[in-house]
Every structure is written in structure tokens, then in C-alpha cells.
Structure 1
Amino acid sequence: MVKYDSTPLDQVFHALGDATRREMLRELASGDRTVSQLAEPFAMSLAAASKHVKVLENAGLIQREIRGRTHLCRLDPGPLARAKEWLGFYERFWTSRLDVLDQLLRDDARHTTAPSPTSKKGKSHE
């Protein structure tokens, strides 16, 4: 795995870029889970699940509490809120662009008159 320095937001998007980690976060949204519980739906080893948990933890998306041999994971929604805020800019950008397009289409529809259908009579060949 390539290691690089990145901003916290980069780490959040990297963590969210994997479907398994997104599903783990979804599970954690309904309550704390052990690493074993997070691994169970994916039929993966504890080592593989731990690697996913570590990525989520490095991104600040979860907090892990160690109780003996049990690792309990808890969702930390703060970084998700920052990601949502960052994405909000693009939501506003596209909404305004689509509003302009909608207005242009409405204006065009008002100024365009539908051509009246003309019937062409074919010559009959008798």
C-alpha cells in the first residue's frame, strides 16, 4: 500500500472510496460493533476487516476502544459532516446550473411555436 501525506478530507474520501468500508460505516450508524461483527457480512478474515477498520480509524470516521481482546468500534460522524460541507459547494453549483438550464428551456418553449401539421395528399395512381 502506498503511503502519502494527505489532508483529513483526502483520508475521508479515500476511506469512503471502498464499498466494504461504506457498508461498515452504515452498520456503525445503528450502533457500536466489534471488528468481528463488522467482518461477518463480508465473510472476510479478522485481519482483512482490521485493515478496513484501520483506514476508517485513520480518517477519523470511527473510534476504536480495546476491551481485552475485543475491539469495539464506534462511528464518529464529524469527518462525514466536513465531507458533506465540501460536497455542498458542488451541490449548490449544479443546482444553480440546472436552474439556469430549466429557465432557458422554459423560455425557449414559450417562444417556439409548434409547427402546424400539414397533410400532404398523395396522388392516386389509377
Structure 2
Amino acid sequence: MADKHQEYLAAREKWVHEDQLINHRLTWLLVSQTLLFAAYGALLQTPDDRPYFSKICQMLPVIPALGIGVALMLLLSIISACCALHILRKKTGFLLAVSDNTHFGGLIAPILLPLFFVGAWAWILIL
């Protein structure tokens, strides 16, 4: 009985760790995208008569490309953490979340949010 309890505690600790990694990656996503959108907006406000205006114009497509790259990188790392949670649950057999459907529902936002940022940056690049 004590062994099962120790196994559960170890699995629960790993679960919490992966969950925290998802949280940290979402924080990185939001901070990075906020800074990139702010930089893009600031560059758009640059008057034509400024020195280095041509260089600033060359930077404009770089920022959305960087935003897409960062969002995709963080999406992959979030999906990896989600896979780790799934494997942990299947491997241990412990009920570490309420149910599979509830857990999946909770992971929709962390997975879709980076895709929304990719879409927003892609729209900016296309326009």
C-alpha cells in the first residue's frame, strides 16, 4: 500500500511539473508576442523623413516572421508537455486529472493560442 502511495506521489509531482512547464511557456508566448506587436506598431509609426527609414522598412517583415517562429516553437514545446502528461497518465494508470475529456478541454487554450498568434502574424505579412 505504501509503495502505491509513493508511486502516486511521484507521478503527481511529474504531472505538476509538466503542468507548470505549460504555464511558463504560455507566459513566454504572451510576453514575446506583446513585445513583438509593440515593436511592430512602433516601427509603423516612424515618419518617412527619419534617418534609416529604409532600414526600418526592411525590418517590418522580420518582426512578423519572428513572431511566427517563436509561436510555433512554443507550440511544439507545449504539445510536447501535453504528450508527456498523456504518457504519464497511461503509464501509471493513476487518475491525475478529472477525466480525459476535461483534461483535453483544459489543454485547448494552450494549444490554440500560439496558432492564433501565427494567424495574426500571417495576416499582417499577407496584407
TM over 0.5, shorter chain = no
Which protein has the bigger helix share? 2
RCO higher in structure (CA 8 A, sep ≥6)? 2
- TM-score under structure 1 normalisation? 0.29
Which protein has the bigger strand share? 1
